[in-house]
Amino acid sequence: MNQNLKNIPIIEEGEGPLIQPIDLDGFREHNRKKSKALIDKTMSEKEAIDKFVKSGDYIGFELYGTVRCPMTLARELVRSGKRNFRIVGQGVHELDLLFAADMVREIDFTYIGLEVYGISANMRRAVESGSITKLVEWSNAALTWRFKAASMGIPFIPTRSMLGTDTLKKSAAKVVECPFTGQKVALLPALIVDVAFIHVNRADKHGNCQIDGISGFAFEMARACKTLIISAEKIVDTKEIREHPDKTIIPYYLVDAVVHAPYGSWPGEMSGMYERDEPHYKSFVEKQKKKDTMDAYMKEWVYDLPDHKALVDKVGKNKLEELTIKEA
């Protein structure tokens, strides 16, 4: 090994662009200015989207598939008319709505699909029509580790994933020889999201959040974003948070807005609280296959509903009751 190494040579680099620049000092400055006061951050989904999201932002949703999805926030984002978003392509059901509304331009892509129900037709239409102008490939771990780098406040993180593949060639990763071991590693650039949306089981009015079940990448993304909008099944007293501080995945100072959204993951599931609305989801799967039926679905389930409460009323108490997991 060359002890006088001044620059580490790049052995290979992905041709994909970095669609969100890495500005660590800007991130620190932003975090410095963020209020650390215990203030009331509860607001409606409309207030939160109006106040904190702008067209062209780089946005991200957690979790995945139809599990613990911030659907209330996604619907409001669609209704807001804001557009030209750059997104983390790791989420599913929210993105179907965003694609259907033609709101996405650039994607850091890992998996967008309907899992057991196959390929997302909304995604296919968006990508194959050319309405997505930049598409950069990553593995699932790579995207989460990019969040992890940002959450650590460092510019990149080395990994042994993606090496030797076209996934790397179409990413923005760089391959170097490790200066300690001489082994090849792929360097993943930190990913700082402008606005992140996370749905949680419970939060207090300050934004202290607790999640039941798997935490997906909530921990990392919450620490890798400038603005964090939370929707919560329950708004609880801070006393309840303090009784189980070990359950707090997201402390209040990371959070900008807290939206009360019971059944906020519908038609998806929420750990320990309710199951996926399988009949509705199956009907969605059918409707998303063609643009006209998808447009009709969007009108019925997004545009024609003024807010989350109207959605809950439309789904109906009986249906929601049926989906609710009964205490053993």
Partner 1 sequence: MEQKYSPSELLICLASRVMEDGTTAFIGTGIPMLAASLAQKMQAPNLVPIFEFGGTGAILEKLPLAVGDMRTYNKGIAASGICDIMETSQRGFVEFGFLGGAQIDCYGNLNSTVIGDHKNPKVRLPGSGGGNDVGSSCWRTIAIMIHDKRRFVEKIDFLTTPGFLTGPGAREEAGLPKDTGPYRVVTNLCIMGYDDESKKMKLLSVNPGVTVEQVIENTGFELLVADEVANNSHPTEEELRILREEIDPDGLYR
Residues that bind partner 1 (CB under 8 A): 63-68, 89, 109-113, 115-116, 119-120, 123-124, 127-128, 137-142, 144-145, 148, 159-167, 170, 175, 183-186, 213-220, 269, 271-272, 275-276
CB of 304 to partner 1, least distance (A): 28
CB of 215 to partner 1, least distance (A): 4
Q: 272: exposed, middle or buried (C-beta count within 10 Å: 0-12, 13-18, 19+)?
A: exposed
Long-range contacts of 319-327 (CB under 8 A, 24+ apart): 319/277, 320/263, 320/266, 320/274, 323/266, 323/274, 323/275, 323/276, 323/277, 324/273, 324/274, 325/272, 325/273, 325/274, 325/275
CB of 116 to partner 1, least distance (A): 5
Q: Which is nearer to partner 1, 279 or 306 (CB)?
A: 279
Q: Which is nearer to partner 1, 106 or 137 (CB)?
A: 137
CB of 165 to partner 1, least distance (A): 5
Token duo for residue 87: 């997104």
Q: 209: exposed, middle or buried (C-beta count within 10 Å: 0-12, 13-18, 19+)?
A: buried
CB of 40 to partner 1, least distance (A): 29
Token duo for residue 100: 């259907």
279 upstream amide cis, omega within 30 of 0: no
